[in-house]
């Protein structure tokens, strides 16, 4: 095996000296459970210096490291065949493949190429992910291992977090903020989505932020603030408060995900009062309207079935919330937060502040029609916002 390995490395060295190396791939891990799945190597020109970029493809992340020629050959000696059993050298003239069997037998295959190949010395920038699981706070929050690998029981949760980041990016990116962006995440809980929001806005969108995670449980507030401190994150803080009692002096963006029952309404009202430019809610536990519907005794072909009564109460509650936002000058949108297979609480209600003319009388008429149809006396929002005066 050593003869063929040395011959392969010698050919790699020659291609480097000649300037004919186009790329190299290392694959087929020697250990099936190795987190490093393959390595891609290509020449790059950085500050007029020729280097070799190694892109390490792990199961959940990529890492890029640059080496000079000597370091590159040394690195190949370390990982062939200890880490990888297959290696392919692509030059401008030929392909050279090193194959190592499970028994350690190595063979070389050489193939001349007909197409015209050229080196591409542009430096491949590492893909910028919205959320990087390798960041230390994800381990401290319990979603990943120390190495940045998402744990098996947190796969669905991380998918939800990532989907949330994608949606928030699409909402925030077109907006024009001046100076520090003031954000409140109401009912922040364990902080998963709050940290995702901070990471997205600061590392992806390069915004200066002041994010407050509002959480009523003092133990969580203490724990999360300690993680923030040890992670060295700026512009992020958890505050101990109920949603109803929290009244920010300045607010550009209001987030409230899965605030139970009328806590969602308290959050919406807080955003409206503060004149937030963007309000994003994922409501849950729509008990208030269902109880009103049940007390009224009004039953139709849909609501006489219990499961449909529940779903109808959800739709009516969130429809009225959307209409109230429109009444106070917001353009509303209802979208899917994440697939039903991952969570049943999958509706995202979005309100963007607009200067368009509002037909408030027509909106109030729509709300009253809905309430009358289903025997609803009052939506909770009507009791805490000034339009009822």
Which DSSP symbol is given to 144?
B
Contact 276, 366 (CB under 8 A): no
CA distance 257 to 269: 15
Q: What is the 3-state secondary structure (H, E, C) of 350-375?
A: EEEECCCCCCHHHHHHHHHHHHHHCC
Contact 347, 257 (CB under 8 A): no
Strand ranges, E, within the chain: 21-29, 36-46, 49-58, 62-67, 84-91, 94-100, 106-112, 181-186, 209-215, 236-240, 253-260, 278-284, 330-336, 347-353
pLDDT at 344: 46
pLDDT at 366: 95
pLDDT at 303: 67
Contact 191, 227 (CB under 8 A): yes
CA distance 330 to 324: 9
CATH assignment, 136-388: 3.40.50.150
Sequence-ordered list of residues with C-beta below 8 angstroms from that of 12, at least 6 positions apart, any chain: 21, 24, 73, 76, 89
Where do the domains of the chain lie? Answer: 2-112, 136-388
**Does the pTM of the predicted model rise above 0.75?**
no
Beta bridge partners of 304: none
pLDDT at 339: 45
CA distance 115 to 198: 48
CA distance 196 to 159: 12
Q: Does the bond joining 294 to the residue before it have cis omega, within 30 degrees of 0?
A: no
CA distance 5 to 10: 8
pLDDT at 126: 46
Beta bridge partners of 144: 150
Beta strand 36-46 with 21-29 is antiparallel
Q: What is the 3-state secondary structure (H, E, C) of 220-254?
A: HHHHHHHHHHHHCCCCEEEEECCCCCCCCCCCCEE
Contact 281, 263 (CB under 8 A): no
pLDDT at 261: 79
> Closest by alpha carbon to 91, among 63, 62, 112, 69?
112
Contact 238, 228 (CB under 8 A): yes
> Closest by alpha carbon to 94, among 192, 4, 12, 175?
12
Sequence-ordered list of residues with C-beta below 8 angstroms from that of 85, at least 6 positions apart, any chain: 28, 29, 30, 99, 100, 101, 102
3-state SS assignment for residue 193: helix
Contact 15, 23 (CB under 8 A): no
Q: Does the bond joining 363 to the residue before it have cis omega, within 30 degrees of 0?
A: no
CB count within 10 Å of CB 363 equals 18
CA distance 82 to 31: 9
Q: 155-172 and 192-199 helices cross at what angle (nearest 10)?
A: 40
Sign of CA dihedral 63, 39, 154, 130: positive
pLDDT at 278: 97
The tens place of each residue's pLDDT in the chain, 389 residues long, gives 478 889 999 999 999 988 889 999 999 999 888 889 899 999 988 877 889 999 998 876 788 899 999 999 999 999 999 999 999 999 988 999 999 988 888 899 998 876 656 666 655 544 557 888 989 999 999 999 988 889 988 988 888 888 888 889 999 988 988 899 999 999 999 999 999 999 999 988 889 999 999 999 999 999 999 999 999 999 999 999 999 999 988 999 999 988 887 889 999 999 999 999 999 998 877 788 778 877 777 766 666 666 777 788 888 889 999 999 999 999 999 887 654 344 445 788 999 999 889 999 999 999 999 888 888 888 989 888 987 54
């Amino acid at each position: 095996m050593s003869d063929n390995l040395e011959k392969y490395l010698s050919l790699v060295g020659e291609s480097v000296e000649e300037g004919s190396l186009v790329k190299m791939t290392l694959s087929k891990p020697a250990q099936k459970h190795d987190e490093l799945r393959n390595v891609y190597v290509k020449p790059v020109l950085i500050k007029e210096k020729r280097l070799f970029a190694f892109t390490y493809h792990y199961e959940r992340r990529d890492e890029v490291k640059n080496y000079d020629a000597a370091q590159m050959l040394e690195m190949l000696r370390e990982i062939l065949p200890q880490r990888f059993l297959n290696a392919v050298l692509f030059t401008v003239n030929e392909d050279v493949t090193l194959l190592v069997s499970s028994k350690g037998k190595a063979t070389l295959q050489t193939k001349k190429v007909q197409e015209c190949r050229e080196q591409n010395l542009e430096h491949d920038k590492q893909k910028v992910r919205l959320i990087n699981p390798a960041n230390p706070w994800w381990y401290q929050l319990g979603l990943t291992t120390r190495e940045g690998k998402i744990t098996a029981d947190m796969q669905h949760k991380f998918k939800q977090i990532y989907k949330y980041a994608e949606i928030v990016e699409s909402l925030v990116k077109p907006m024009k903020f001046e100076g520090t962006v003031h954000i409140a995440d109401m009912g922040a809980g364990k902080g998963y989505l709050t940290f995702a929001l901070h990471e997205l806005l600061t590392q992806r969108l390069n915004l200066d932020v002041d994010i407050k995670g509002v959480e009523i449980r003092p133990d969580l507030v203490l724990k999360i603030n300690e993680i923030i401190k040890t992670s060295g994150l700026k512009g992020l803080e958890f505050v101990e408060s109920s949603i109803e009692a929290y009244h920010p002096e300045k607010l550009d963006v209001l987030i409230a995900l899965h605030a139970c029952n009328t806590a969602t309404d308290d959050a919406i009202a807080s955003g409206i009062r503060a004149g937030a430019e963007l309000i994003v809610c994922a409501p849950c536990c729509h008990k208030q309207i269902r109880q009103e519907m049940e007390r009224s005794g009004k039953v139709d072909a849909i609501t006489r079935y219990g499961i449909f009564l529940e779903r109808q109460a959800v739709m009516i509650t969130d429809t009225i919330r959307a209409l109230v936002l429109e009444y106070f000058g917001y353009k509303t949108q209802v979208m899917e937060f994440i697939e039903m297979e991952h969570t049943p609480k999958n509706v995202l209600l979005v309100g963007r502040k607009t200067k368009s003319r509002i037909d408030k009388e027509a909106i109030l008429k729509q709300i009253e029609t809905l309430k009358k149809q289903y025997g609803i006396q009052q939506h909770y929002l009507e009791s805490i916002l000034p339009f009822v005066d």
